[in-house]
Copies of this chain bind each other. A is one copy, B any other.
């Protein structure tokens, strides 16, 4: 409730001008010590807080960074956000987070809400629906206004700074580890090919097969369509006449689901079936046995992304070429794979 205290009101009350009040509060030497003290005392008494909007409008910058991520509950994204916040705060910026919920519509809406002066730059991980629709006009319009950096979920058609995980390398490492620990029939559970990270991880998988001279088996490649029941689609893999003895799943959920299904069928993990997931989140940690995964260093990704963005925002030089940073991934051993012999 309560009428807000503004500079103008303080000025009127004290019988001085607003400029005097403003300067007094910022300790300008133009104002006598006497007046400064008086103004400050009055401001404190009435709990004066400057209006953020007015400041931002005046300064033409908000010192706020808008972040749009596709999902809320996602350990990986949460670590990325931590990295972003840390980097932003170090340089005096704040962070606001919005969720697209994997929806194109919400992504557009979020951008509209934050654009138009509210934030100085955007950090976005593209929604699945947007990747499928391939409609990137909102990003193009955005780029006219403020800098944009994409992370994790990116697309070659959008020209800007990017930070991605080494998905190909990760897919390779996972598959290689399964092969090296004795798996003869390694399957992959991935997303449809329009999801960039799923496609890249599959490429890594295929590269590993090639490197170890193993023939690709189409039955061993599952593209999960999230519009339908996920367990049903994964179950098919475990009902093949020639059941795989190694599974590389491109995310935690698929990995944990596969493990549950296998266990229900009485398949021993990891003796009869080894499983590797991507993203070392809570699910992997608390599943039983714990999952071997590819740790993604989300914090590092967040730090890198915000660094690129802030450099772009604060840069005087306009034509720095766009870069794409690649964050390394690392095998993190759980108990869902056999020990290397």
Contact = CB atoms under 8 A, between A and B. Distances in A.
Interface of A: 1-2, 4, 47, 49-57, 62, 64, 72-75, 77-78, 81-82, 85, 94-99, 101, 109, 113, 115-118, 141, 144-145, 253, 256-257, 259-260, 263, 281-283, 286-288, 318
Given A73-B74, A73-B281, A115 B52 contact: yes
Contacts of A286: 253, 256-257, 260, 283, 286-287
Which A-B residue pairs are the 3 nearest by beta carbons? A52-B116, A72-B78, A53-B117
A118 B53 contact: yes
B288 A260 contact: yes
Q: Which of A55, A109, A113, A281 has the most CB of B within 10 A?
A: A113
A1 B318 contact: yes
Nearest to A50: B116
Contact of A49 (B75, B82, B116): B116
A67 to B, nearest CB: 10
Contacts of A62: 53
Contacts of A118: 52-53
Contacts of A4: 145
